[in-house]
């Protein structure tokens, strides 16, 4: 079995894969990573592992992780199953590298637009030649609500809510329309731009706000909430095969 570790700024998401199937997913606080990994390792027989992190580890934490698993630490030098044509490959986030890898594995010989709706909304495009061309980065849902509250004197801090009408009839519904309806139109507009340029486009929606946005968007979009984990597993198996 393979262990896939995705480390965010505050939380860690871990998946145990058997062949290409997720057997179990664990989510815990970053501060507990060593103790939680020990529990997982004691429960499963792990043969390979990879770690993707947007946060930094202390030297002690990294040494303990290496001692426990000796994983691949994903970075811009790691072998990946696609050609990276990004003009600044060293700045490409590890999460976006994972998403591109998942796209070429799940939808080979296809033009794929991956939309990751999390803290930020990222758009990543991989063409049918397995070439990563780039995409876009936009503020996520929570970030937009916080911006409305933080940069004004009277607007409240709201939580995401489904929009029943695009016409808000009070402050709260107007804010919900501005954020949620605005994001949905942004996503639909970006998809249309890619569809006009590339035929047979496959669109994938992933990230923490996957299901919330999927309800608001048109059909024809594939929802894959664990696409980053699947991409990391693809990178791991690709490196094992090409070692």
> SS3 letters for 160-217?
CCCCCCCCCCCHHHHHHHHHHHHHHHHHHHHHHHHHHHCCCEEEEEECCCHHHHHHHC
Contact status, residue 90 vs residue 99, Cβ threshold 8 Å: no
pLDDT value of residue 155:
96
Catalytic residue among 95, 124, 196, 243: 95
Reported as a single tens digit per residue, the pLDDT across 176-230 is: 999 999 999 999 999 999 999 998 999 999 988 888 888 888 778 999 999 999 9
Annotated binding site for K(+): 116
Q: What is the spatial distance between Cα 85 and Cα 83, in angstroms, rounded to a whole number?
A: 6
Global pTM? 0.91
pLDDT for 215 equals 84
Q: Are 55 and 8 in contact (CB under 8 A)?
A: yes
**Cβ pair 16, 24 in contact under 8 A:** yes
Partner residues linked to 113 by β-bridges: 125, 203
Binding residues: 6-13, 86, 93-96, 116, 119, 171
Binding region for substrate: 86, 93-96, 171
Quick one: CATH architecture of 75-242? 2-Layer Sandwich (3.30)
1-73 and 75-242: identical CATH topology: yes
Half-sphere exposure of 180 (CA within 13 A, CB side): 25
pLDDT at 56: 81
Tell me the C-alpha to C-alpha distance, in Å, between residue 26 and each of 1, 14, 50, 91, 225.
15, 5, 15, 28, 14
Token code pair at residue 37: 């990994």
Q: Is 95 a catalytic site residue? A: yes
Q: Are 232 and 6 in contact (CB under 8 A)?
A: yes
Angle 207-7-33 from CA coordinates, rounded to 5°: 135
Give me the chain's average pLDDT, please: 93
- Domain ranges within the chain, ordered by starting residue: 1-73, 75-242
As a CATH number, domain 1-73 is 3.30.420.40
> What are the two backbone dihedrals, phi and then psi, of residue 179, each rounded to the nearest 5 degrees?
-80, -60
Listed as ranges, residues in the chain with pLDDT below 50 are none
**155-161-166 Cα angle (round to 5):** 80
pLDDT of res. 211: 86
């Amino acid at each position: 079995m393979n262990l896939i570790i995705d480390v965010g700024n505050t939380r860690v998401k871990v998946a145990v894969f058997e062949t290409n199937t997720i057997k179990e997913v664990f989510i815990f606080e970053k501060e507990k990573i060593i103790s939680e990994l020990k529990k997982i390792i004691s429960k499963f027989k792990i043969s390979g592992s990879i770690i993707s992190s947007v946060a930094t580890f202390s030297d002690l934490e990294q040494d303990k992780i290496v001692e426990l698993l000796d994983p691949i630490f994903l970075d811009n030098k790691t072998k990946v199953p696609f050609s990276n044509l990004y003009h600044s490959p060293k700045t490409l986030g590890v999460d976006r590298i994972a998403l591109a890898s998942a796209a070429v594995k799940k939808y080979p010989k296809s033009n794929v637009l991956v939309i990751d709706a999390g803290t930020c909304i990222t758009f990543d495009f991989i063409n049918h030649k397995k070439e990563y061309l780039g995409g876009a980065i936009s503020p996520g849902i929570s970030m937009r609500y916080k911006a409305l509250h933080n940069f004004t004197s009277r607007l409240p801090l709201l939580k995401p809510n489904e929009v029943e009408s695009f016409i808000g009839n009070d402050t709260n519904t107007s804010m919900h329309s501005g954020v949620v309806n605005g994001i949905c139109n942004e996503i639909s507009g970006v998809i249309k731009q890619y569809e006009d340029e590339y035929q047979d486009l496959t669109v994938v929606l992933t990230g923490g706000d996957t299901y919330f946005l999927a309800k608001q968007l048109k059909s024809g979009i594939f929802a894959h909430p664990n696409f980053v984990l699947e991409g990391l597993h693809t990178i791991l198996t690709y490196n094992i095969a090409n070692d």
